Amino acid sequence: MTRLDKITAKQLNISRTQAKAMIKNGEVCVNGAVIKSVDFKCSDDDKISAGGKEIERRDFVYIMMNKPKGVISASEGKGDKTVIDLLPDEMKRKGLFPAGRLDKDTTGFVLITDDGAFAHDILSPSHHIDKTYTAKLDTPFDDDVINDFKSGMTLGGEKLLEAEITPLNNECTIAEVVLRQGLYHQVKRMFKKHGITVVELKRTKMGNLPLDKTLKSGESRYIDENELKSIVAK
C-alpha cells in the first residue's frame, strides 16, 4: 500500500505539499471516488485520476512521440523547445529524457522514458537496435550508393556497420534507410559522402516498432509492454 499523496506527487512531478493540496481540494479520485484524506493508502491495482485524467502508475514509462521539426531531443533546451516541453501535462513526470537523439530538423519517432537502464541497453552499440528512416533527397541515388551503404561504408575514417537502403519511389529520390548505429548526423553524412543532400528526414521505426501513424506531429502516447519488447526483438 502506498500513500495517495506520494503517488500523486511522483506521477505528476509536483511536491508532496502540492499533491496534498490537490487531494484536499477534491481533485483526486481513487477508483472513481473523490478522496479528500491525505493519509489515504492505495493498492497497486487502484485507478487514480487527477483533474479528470488517469494517472499512469507504472514504475517506468515509455513514450512514443512523433517529433516535429524545430524541437530538440533533449531534456533541457537553453532557449530551444524540447521534446519534454511538448509532452502533455498528464504525461510529465520526474526524470524523463529522450533515449537517443534526432537532429532539430529531423521528424518522427522519439522514445522518451525515465528508465535509464533500458535506454542504455537500446542505445548501446553492442545491441544494434535497427533504426529506420525515410530520407528525401535532392539527387537520385544509384547502385554505387546502395553498395556502399550495404557493404558498411567508411566515413571520416570509421568503418560503419552494414546499412540497408531501399528506394521508395521510381526516381530514387526517397529512400528507406535502416541503421544499426546512431552516429552524429549519420544518415545525412552517409548521403553527403556521395554528393547527395538529405532535404527531409523522418525516423519511422525503432527495432520492430513502427511510429504510430495516428500520432499527429508533436503528439505522444504510451508504449505498452508488448510494443516495448518489439523494440529489442530481433
Q: Which of residues 74-103 bind ligand URA (CB under 6 A)?
A: 102-103
C-alpha–C-alpha distance, residues 231 and 210, integer Å: 9
If you search the block for the grid coordinates 489515504, which residue do you land on? 40
C-alpha–C-alpha distance, residues 159 and 190, integer Å: 12
Options 5-13, 57-65, 85-93, 180-188: segment touching ligand URA (CB under 6 A): 180-188
Question: In angstroms, how far is CA 90 from the centroid of its own chain?
Answer: 17
Among 18, 49, 186, 208, binds ligand URA (CB under 6 A): 186
C-alpha–C-alpha distance, residues 182 and 54, integer Å: 35
Residue 39 pairs in a beta bridge with none
Q: Is the CB of 204 or the CB of 208 nearer to ligand URA?
A: 204
Q: Is the CB of 10 or the CB of 188 nearer to ligand URA?
A: 188
Could you say which of 103, 114, 121, 130 is catalytic?
103
Please report whether residue 188 would count as binding ligand URA according to CB under 6 A.
yes
3-class DSSP assignment, residue 85: helix
CB of 101 to ligand URA, least distance (A): 7
Q: Which of residues 99-118 bind ligand URA (CB under 6 A)?
A: 102-103, 106
Options 23-31, 74-82, 83-91, 183-191: segment touching ligand URA (CB under 6 A): 183-191
Active site residue 85: no
Parallel, antiparallel or unpaired: strands 28-30 and 48-50 = antiparallel
Q: Which of residues 194-213 bind ligand URA (CB under 6 A)?
A: 201
Q: Is the CB of 187 or the CB of 223 nearer to ligand URA?
A: 187
Burial per residue of 117-142, b for 16 or more beta-carbon CB atoms within 10 angstroms, e otherwise: ebbeebeeeeeebebbbbbebeeebe
How many residues touch ligand URA under the rule CB under 6 A: the total is 8
What's the count of helices (H) and strands (E) in the chain, helices before strands? 7, 17
Q: Is 46 exposed, middle or buried (0-12, 13-18, 19+ CB in 10 A)?
A: middle
Site string for ligand URA, 126-165 (x = CB under 6 A): ----------------------------------------
Among 41, 58, 185, 192, binds ligand URA (CB under 6 A): 185
Please list, in sequence order, all residues whose beta carbon lies within 8 angstroms of the beta carbon of residue 54, skipping any fewer than 6 positions away.
Answer: 47, 48, 90
CB of 184 to ligand URA, least distance (A): 8
Joined together, the cell numbers standing for residue 10 give 511522483
Residues near ligand URA (CB under 6 A) are 102-103, 106, 185-188, 201
Residues marked active site are found at: 103
